[in-house]
Structure 1
Amino acid sequence: MAYQDQEILKEYCNSISKLKKECLNEGLTEREFQELYFKSLKFINMQNIPTGRQQNRFFTNRTFLLMGILIVTCVVYNYKILYSGIVCNLQEYIYPGLRLLRRISIPFISLFPSLTEYYHETCLIQNPFFTVVDMDCWPCSSVSNIREVQNPKPVSQQQNAPFIYQADQIPMGIDSIKSFYEKNKNVIDKEQPKILTNNMKYETPDGMLSQLQKGEKNLYIWKFNTMNTARVLRQVISRPKVVPKFGQSTERFLIIDTRQESFQVPDTECSFSFLLLLNGSRTISLEPAAECKHQCKSLKVDLKESYLLWYNWWYWRPKVQPSNGNITMVAHIGSYC
């Protein structure tokens, strides 16, 4: 066998030598012949060698295509079964999973503050027709009043009944808000420069303070949803003792009301929410969610300065009512997941 290979190789070399001699006689240079020779080898290699690979690739692509068609067909014909299985088995892991992701992301947000805008994302328009089908309303059906707690402890996930208590919080009026802003002006103007006025337009902090000094009657909702602004806000408003050490939402609100009119408290990111009065007093009514109006009743409480109202936003929607006095209300709103 080796002898035959040597003969074939020898014959091939003789043929190439003969071809080279004929090309040189016709006027080709040796360099041109080499280029022509290597091009012919490359052409032969492309024609013969990939044939098996192309066939294998064809059969592989065809196999994947058939498998894809089969999978899509199975999904289409069993859509309801698959959807029900996914919803039933994964729904209880959604909030724990998001909570774990939130804790993991905090160190990265601290290192890269510019990523904070992706940490909290809200809908531009809420769906007014959204309702929960067959919502379980037993947590609010047995609640008849809002009790006052003397020495509250950090709440658990089962603490659904609303309550109030007197917090260890220094009152904050307009002058305190102004000092807070001037001290942290660089951070606030960069990250939270918009304040919603009368639920109609946005105002700057300087514009809000100017209007307050003039005595204008407005409602200001100042939203804080970045890590840096939440950190500076915590320097003047500490974490409530009912909120566990981990789990407080980055989203916070400062509400300044000089109109003495009723308004709805903003929805919070987490379902467990609190409203802390920093200045003034107001009557707070907790209206049951639309899904639970047939089982739960409205609650009302007179919230004084430095008092905190804890409630579950999933079952109650708070509404601020005007009080007898003509004192500007300053409130802080936060939530816990």
Structure 2
Amino acid sequence: MVDLNEYRESVQQIKQYAAEHNVSEAQTSEIFRACFRQLEAKYSKKYSNRLKTSLKFAFLFFLISIVLLRLCNQKWINDVFIRISQNSIYPALYVLRKLAIPIVSLYPSLSELYDEWCLIENPYFYINDIDCWPCTMVYSVPDLTGHNISRSFNIDIPYTRAENNTKVKMEDLVDVYWSNQDIFDQDARRISSNNETFKTIYDIMRNRLDLYPTDSLTTHISWKINRMRPNRILRRLFPKPVETPNWWSQGMEKYIFIDESASPSYLLPNPECSNIVIRCVAGARLIKMTPSSECIQHCRSLTILLSTGHTLWYNWWYWRPVSLPVYNATDLSIGYLTSFC
């Protein structure tokens, strides 16, 4: 920053020097004016060049923006871009997940950054011009127990499998919780429920619904687990589904649903990956396969009974399943939902 006092002193010294060497006041003023003209010419040219450069960049940016907007309106270019980006999302996420595993293992606290409880799902999310052909020809949900899923199989068609060796009772969940209470209370404490008595996972394990059912039998509990340590522990009870395609990568989000026999209907969540597997490990629930809002005009709704030891596979791009109570059911129902990319 310029010091005006120093500037004044320098001007006085120049005037004094001019007077001592017989330079008139008019000549001294002319010398000052000549210096100012040189400075003005120098800096005005510099600022002019900067202004011209800025205007060129602004015009170029404006021109590129217009070209991109025109290109985006071309349907074939938009389709190519979407196809390329969609095909690269899952491989990129798979590589990123593989790279993150050793880092998160060394620093488990980093998994807290993945917590999304503050986010709200956009209820107005809608895809224009989605191709609904995977669900248009679905008239029933087939049982594909024992069938291998190849790459040529249309995995967007919903189907079921029998996995009778994956039955889990409430007491199994309770035992796992009390054996690892510190981890669950720290990394997977929060739940959502229509019963105000249950606010944390500790409340569920302390007031067991299998031993102390409510009078109305309508309690629904949704337990979301999206951190590494509790996921590894629960993997003992809920292993990876049998015959899962080896090119699928499992998502981090897991859900456990605990429902009393008269628990009301609720919409199954949409996790990060679109290929969903929901496993019934205790009791039974009716699953109504409702087409997504984009495909509801082209596809029909279906209802299946998901009983103990069976899994349902579907894609949430085309289906928005609803869980319903089974008529005359008496047992507590436990479901496990995971996703694959």
TM-score by length of 1: 0.75
Query: Paired residue for 1:238?
Result: 239
Measure the CA separation in 1 of the matches of 2:132 and 2:118: 26
Query: Paired residue for 2:204?
Result: 208
2:100 maps to 1:108: yes
Matches within 5 A, 1:1-337: 61-62=50-51, 64-84=53-73, 87-106=78-97, 107-112=99-104, 113-119=108-114, 121=116, 124-154=119-149, 156=151, 158-198=154-194, 203-211=199-207, 212=209, 213-216=211-214, 217=217, 218-245=219-246, 246-258=248-260, 260=262, 261-323=264-326, 324-337=328-341
Flag the 1:149–1:83 CA change in 2: closer, same or farther, 3 A. same
Deviates more, 1:69-78 or 1:313-322: 69-78
SS at match of 2:320: strand
SS at match of 2:329: coil
Flag the 1:279–1:70 CA change in 2: closer, same or farther, 3 A. same
Flag the 1:68–1:174 CA change in 2: closer, same or farther, 3 A. same
Measure the CA separation in 1 of the matches of 2:66 and 2:298: 40
Query: Paired residue for 1:49?
Result: none
Deviation at 1:74, TM superposition (A): 0.9
Measure the CA separation in 2 of the matches of 1:61 and 1:267: 52
Gaps of 5+ in 1: 1-52
**Counterpart residue identity of residue 91, structure 1:** I
Measure the CA separation in 1 of the matches of 2:123 and 2:289: 19
Deviation at 1:129, TM superposition (A): 2.7
Gaps of 5+ in 2: 1-41
Count of matched residue pairs:
289
Flag the 1:77–1:96 CA change in 2: closer, same or farther, 3 A. closer
Identical counterparts, % of pairs: 26
Deviation at 1:72, TM superposition (A): 2.6
**Counterpart residue identity of residue 215, structure 1:** P
SS at match of 2:175: helix
Measure the CA separation in 1 of the matches of 2:147 and 2:53: 61
Deviation at 1:155, TM superposition (A): 5.8
**Counterpart residue identity of residue 163, structure 1:** Y
Measure the CA separation in 2 of the matches of 1:94 and 1:293: 26
Q: Computing the radius of gyration over CA atoms, which structure comes out larger, 1 or 2?
A: 1
C-alpha contact (below 8 Å) 1:109/1:227 kept by paired residues: no
TM-score by length of 2: 0.75
C-alpha contact (below 8 Å) 1:170/1:278 kept by paired residues: yes
